[in-house]
Amino acid sequence: MNETKGILFDSVLVQELKNQFFMPNEDPRDGERLFFDNSGGSLRLQKAVEVKADLERYPDCPERDHERGLTLKAYVQEGTKELLDIVFNAKSGALMSELTASQCMFQIVDLIMDNVEGTNAVVSVLEHPSAFDAMQFHCKKHGRELRVAQANKETGRIDPDEVARLVDQNTCLVSIMSASNISGSVMDMEGIVKAVRAIKPDIYIISDAVQHAPHMIMDVETLGLDAMNFAPYKFFSVRGCGFAYVSDRVAHMPHHKIIAKDPKVFELGTPAPGNFAAMMAVVDYVCSIGKKFIASENRKELYYEGMKRIHLQERALLHYMLEGTKEIPGLRHIPGVAISADTDSVEGRDLIAGIRIEGMDVIELGEEYQRRGVTTAARAATSIYSKRIVEALGADKGLVRVSPMHCHGTEDIDKFLNITKEIATR
């Protein structure tokens, strides 16, 4: 097993997995296309969408004690348990659900700043606006100084030392994303937590895992985090909700809730059972991949194996996309193509490449791909979502983000590379 360069699924498994998603190869209006913008919203698992639609048909209130009400309530209870125990690996704490991951982030930052003393807070320059602006907004509201950790342009990461440099006894909160949604670089969260807690052992640390969640396991217990969030629509599931783990000490802070409910309850109003059922369908799917590789009946073990295999498949696809073959040159070998934060090793990277083609505007490049049937995401330096981040990575003219997913095969990457070569040599 060569884990450093990843391990590809065989083509039969790729096909089997692809068949479980809606529209992997075509859009009903546009026809055949490669969907390489999974970071903007992943291909949808059919079972997740179907169970959500199925449960939305019932008018029954999940708070009632009749059969249907109890069945609907069970999805919320079971889903909460699975999200905390399996998806986040939380041994304690609570689950927050909102309409989006951004809403979870703003709530959590507000809650911590409202309850924890200190004169400053630390965020990274690479954060998505949802995490960056939550820190900026609440620092202003609570009268704290916002300190911004800069990126290592070579690796696309935030170095633990850089975060530690900004932390002191008066830092109330550190917020660092688990992986960059622009370059795919995975942060050394373990190193960051260690460096920061060496300075202030009880410091609050949170992490935006929206980009990271569909690529590797989330593990709040081992990292000792106070909060972590993700968006189901980027994790094979549905739009319309965001989930977050919060630690016990955050869960016990006075927060918006129905007063008579348990102190750790965050839900306001009736949660949608379909959102929980859809994520349970994702857990089922990941377990089914795990089952191809290990003999176990333990759901958590299977989920962990499934996520590990997804990651190894994606690492192998990333390596393939960068290096290509003798016949089809990879991105590194197509003249004129530049890749952002392209470390030699593909370890510590999610399946994302931020690229440019010399002499070409990134918006134009995105349009060229679309015209040739490849959906990507142009991250222009003028966009409110990307400006700060692409500049921090040294890509002042922006880049095009290419994000396939684990159910793509090498033949999909070949198609993309051929199209890239065609555009670059025009």
Ligand X SMILES: Cc1ncc(COP(=O)(O)O)c(C=O)c1O
Q: What is the closest distance, in whole angstroms, from the C-beta atom of residue 268 to ligand X in the complex?
A: 18
Contact set for ligand X, span 222-241 (CB under 6 A) = 231
Count the site residues for ligand X by CB under 6 A. Answer: 12
Q: What is the closest distance, in whole angstroms, from the C-beta atom of residue 247 to ligand X in the complex?
A: 20
Q: What is the closest distance, in whole angstroms, from the C-beta atom of residue 44 to ligand X in the complex?
A: 15
Q: How far apart are CA 308 and CA 289, in angstroms?
A: 10
Q: What is the closest distance, in whole angstroms, from the C-beta atom of residue 217 to ligand X in the complex?
A: 17
Pick 217 or 316: Cβ nearer ligand X:
217
> In this structure, how many other beta carbons lie within 10 angstroms of the beta carbon of residue 418?
15
Pick 220 or 316: Cβ nearer ligand X:
220
Q: What is the closest distance, in whole angstroms, from the C-beta atom of residue 135 to ligand X in the complex?
A: 13
Which distant-in-sequence residues (6+ apart) come within 8 Å of 125 by Cβ?
Answer: 148, 149, 150, 151, 158, 388, 389, 392
Pick 229 or 420: Cβ nearer ligand X:
229
Classify residue 284 by its DSSP letter. H
Pick 181 or 275: Cβ nearer ligand X:
181
Pick 105 or 321: Cβ nearer ligand X:
105
Q: What is the closest distance, in whole angstroms, from the C-beta atom of residue 114 to ligand X in the complex?
A: 21
Q: How far apart are CA 10 and CA 210, in angstroms?
A: 28
Positive or negative torsion for Cα 26, 27, 30, 35: negative
Answer yes or no whether residue 128 interacts with ligand X by CB under 6 A: yes
Answer yes or no whether residue 242 interacts with ligand X by CB under 6 A: yes
User: In the block, which residue shows the tokens 């960059």?
Assistant: 180
Answer yes or no whether residue 210 interacts with ligand X by CB under 6 A: yes
Stretch (H or E) spanning 173: strand 171-175
Answer yes or no whether residue 211 interacts with ligand X by CB under 6 A: yes
Residue-level length of the chain:
426
What residues form DSSP beta bridges with 27?
31
DSSP codes, 369-391: HHHTTEE-EEE-TTSTTTHHHHH
Pick 134 or 424: Cβ nearer ligand X:
134
Answer yes or no whether residue 126 interacts with ligand X by CB under 6 A: no
Is residue 315 classed as helix, strand or coil in its secondary structure?
helix
Region binding ligand X by CB under 6 A among candidate stretches 89-97, 204-212, 304-312, 407-415: 204-212
Q: What is the closest distance, in whole angstroms, from the C-beta atom of residue 339 to ligand X in the complex?
A: 19
CA 179 to chain CA centroid, nearest Å? 7
The answer to whether 75 touches 283, Cβ cutoff 8 Å, is: no
Pick 197 or 387: Cβ nearer ligand X:
387
CB closest to ligand X, residue no: 102
DSSP codes, 68-96: HHHHHHHHHHHHHHHIIIIIS--SS-EEE
Region binding ligand X by CB under 6 A among candidate stretches 30-38, 207-215, 324-332, 360-368: 207-215
Q: What is the closest distance, in whole angstroms, from the C-beta atom of residue 85 to ligand X in the complex?
A: 22
From residue 61 to residue 100, what is the string marking binding to ligand X with x (rule CB under 6 A)? ---------------------------------------x
What residues form DSSP beta bridges with 377?
401
Pick 107 or 211: Cβ nearer ligand X:
211
Candidate residues 42, 181, 185, 207; the one interacting with ligand X per rule CB under 6 A:
181
Pick 133 or 267: Cβ nearer ligand X:
133
* Cβ burial, residue 254 (10 Å; 0-12/13-18/19+): exposed
> In this structure, how many other beta carbons lie within 10 angstroms of the beta carbon of residue 232?
26
Pick 176 or 337: Cβ nearer ligand X:
176
Pick 87 or 287: Cβ nearer ligand X:
87
Q: What is the closest distance, in whole angstroms, from the C-beta atom of residue 238 to ligand X in the complex?
A: 11
Candidate residues 102, 155, 175, 237; the one interacting with ligand X per rule CB under 6 A:
102
Tell which residue, 10, 22, 44, has the closest CA to residue 234: 44
Structure tokens at 357: 């083609």
Q: How far apart are CA 313 and CA 215, in angstroms?
A: 10
Answer yes or no whether residue 208 interacts with ligand X by CB under 6 A: yes
Q: Give the type of residue at 302.
A: L
Q: How far apart are CA 230 and CA 59, in angstroms?
A: 28
Answer yes or no whether residue 156 interacts with ligand X by CB under 6 A: no
Is residue 172 classed as helix, strand or coil in its secondary structure?
strand
Kindly list the residues in this chain that would bind ligand X in the complex (CB under 6 A).
Answer: 100-102, 128, 130, 177, 181, 208, 210-211, 231, 242
